[in-house]
Amino acid sequence: MDRNGLLFYNEYEDFYTMAEKSRAFHLFCEEALGEDFSQDGFSDVSQVKRILEYIPDGSDVHILDIGCGNGKMLGYIQKTKDVYIHGFDFSAQAINTARKLYPVKSDFREGIAGETEYRENFFDVIISMDTMYFAKDMAEFMCQVKKWLKNNGVFFAGYQEGDIMPKTVDATTTVLAGALQHSNMAYEEEDITMECYNILKRKRNAALKYKEDFLQEGNVKWFDMIMGQTELCCLPFTEFKEKMARYIFTARKTLPLSCL
Any idea what the CATH number is for the domain that residue 97 is in? Answer: 3.40.50.150
Domain that holds residue 169: 9-252
Q: How many angstroms from the chain centroid is the CA of residue 70?
A: 11
In a domain, 3, yes or no: no
Note whether residue 258 is domain-resident.
no
Question: Within a domain: residue 114?
Answer: yes
* 78-117 tens-digit pLDDT: 999 999 999 999 999 999 999 999 999 999 999 999 999 9
Quote the CA–CA distance of 23 and 210 in Å, as a whole number. 10
User: What pLDDT, on a 0 to 100 scale, did the predictor assign at position 260?
Assistant: 46
> Which pTM does this prediction carry?
0.93
pLDDT value of residue 68: 95
Is 62 a member of any domain? yes
Residue 254, pLDDT score: 84
pLDDT < 70 regions, the chain = 1-9, 255-260
The answer to whether residue 2 sits within a structural domain is no
Please report which residue ranges of 102-219 form alpha helices under DSSP H.
138-148, 175-182, 193-209, 211-217
Q: Could you tell me if residue 99 is inside a domain?
A: yes
Number of domains in the chain: 1
What type of residue is 123?
F
Structure confidence at residue 231 (pLDDT): 96
13 burial type by CB count under 10 A (0-12 exposed, 13-18 middle, 19+ buried): middle
Asked if residue 191 is part of any domain, the answer here is yes
